[in-house]
Structures are given as structure tokens and as C-alpha cells.
Amino acid sequence: MIVSLIRSIILYTLIIIAIRLMGKRQIGELQPGELAITILISNIAVLPIENIDVPLILGIIPIFTLVCFELALSSISLKSNNFRKLLSGKPVFVIEDGKINQKALSSLRFTLDDLTEGLRSCDVFDISQVAYAVVETNGTMSVLKKFSAQTVTAEMMKLEDEKTVVPMVVISDGKLVTENLQMVGLNNEWIFNRVKKENLDVKDIFLMTVDRDENVYLARKERI
């Protein structure tokens, strides 16, 4: 039992390292080659976990071999556009200039239900509002609405540009986050004085954020 547990922890750690080496992607964003490698790694890892008679090295070597293979393919893809298209395919326009590309739908084996579902995932419920829709190489859909259906932006309204200020978490669950304080140009003394104005201690605060303009959001801890 203990041996099986140790082997599981080792392989779990190994898979995490392998996935980190391949890059940060969610499952739904994996390219076909990356998805195939991920499935193979998971299947290989199961064998030494389920059967302790299988040497652990027989799981470790194939996993690292597949990761190295994937990294090699990724390097070639970065340098060769043709190889990248061969390996991952290319984006396909399923709606062009407001018209459904039926040929493209057929080649992707997309039904109208698949198309409308993809549009809804992009917060589009009226297909007449779409100027262009693209099925990306990872299977997700990107949509550009017609100008008349686009959300009004500050640029459209010719509003004066204002500097974007990002609030940082400076107190998390009763503890100071010093590195974030430095990022907004503040120090511990400022925080203690600001908290004191609320008749609180740092340990009494569940969340506190502040930006460079010293705008504060504060949430007290609740007794649970």
C-alpha cells in the first residue's frame, strides 16, 4: 500500500512537471498534437500505479520521451509555418462578411447546432449580428460582430483617455502581502494607519485591495 502511494506521488509530480514543460494551456486550448501527448502520458502513468510489478522507470522514461518529442515538434512549428499548419491545421472562417460558409461547415463536419452553440459561447444569440466567425485550430470559436451590433467603447464615443489603475491585494485573510504593497508604492505604515481609521487590526481583515491612487476596497473577516 505504501509502495503504491509513493509511486503514485512520484508519477503525479512527474506529470505536473511534464505539463509545465509543455506550457500553460487549459484542456480546451490544447492543439491536436498536445492533446494526443497528454492522453498518452496519462495512460502510461496508470500502468505503474495499478501494477506495482511494473518497474517505475518504465513509466518515467516514456513520459519524458513524449515530452521531449512534443518540445521538439513545438520548436519546429515555431520555425516552420507549413509544418505548423500540417500539425495543427489552420483557422477556418465559418461566417464571412455576414454569410455562412456552408462549405467550411461541411469540411469541419459542423452542424448548424454546433455553429449556434459556438456563437452562444461568444455571447452572440443572433446570427444576423455576426460579421465574421472563425473556428480556431484548438476548436474554439472567435467572433467579430457587425459594427451596428458591437458594444459601444470609449474610443467610439471619443471619450478622453484615462490611465488604467490596477488594484492590488495588500491584505489577504489577515496577512500583509508586502510585495504587492511595493508594487503600488506604499509601505506597511500606510496600511496600518489606513486600517486604524476603520478601528480594525490587520488580522481582522479578510481582503483589502488598493491601487496607486490609494483607492481602497476592504472586507472584514466574518465569524464562521
pLDDT tens-place string over residues 36-94 = 777 888 888 887 777 778 788 888 888 888 888 878 887 887 788 787 777 777 889 99
pLDDT tens-place string over residues 153-172 = 777 777 676 666 688 999 99
Please check the confidence at residue 31 and state whether its pLDDT lies above 90.
Answer: no
* pTM of structure: 0.56
Assign 19 a pLDDT band (cuts: 50, 70, 90). Answer: low
Q: How far is Cα 144 from Cα 141, in angstroms, rounded to an integer?
A: 10
The residue ranking higher by pLDDT, 97 or 59, is 97
Beta strand extents in the chain (DSSP E only): 92-96, 99-100, 130-135, 141-145, 168-172, 175-176, 205-210, 216-220
Of 116-130, 145-159, 203-217, the least confident: 145-159
The pLDDT score that the predictor gives to residue 120 is 94
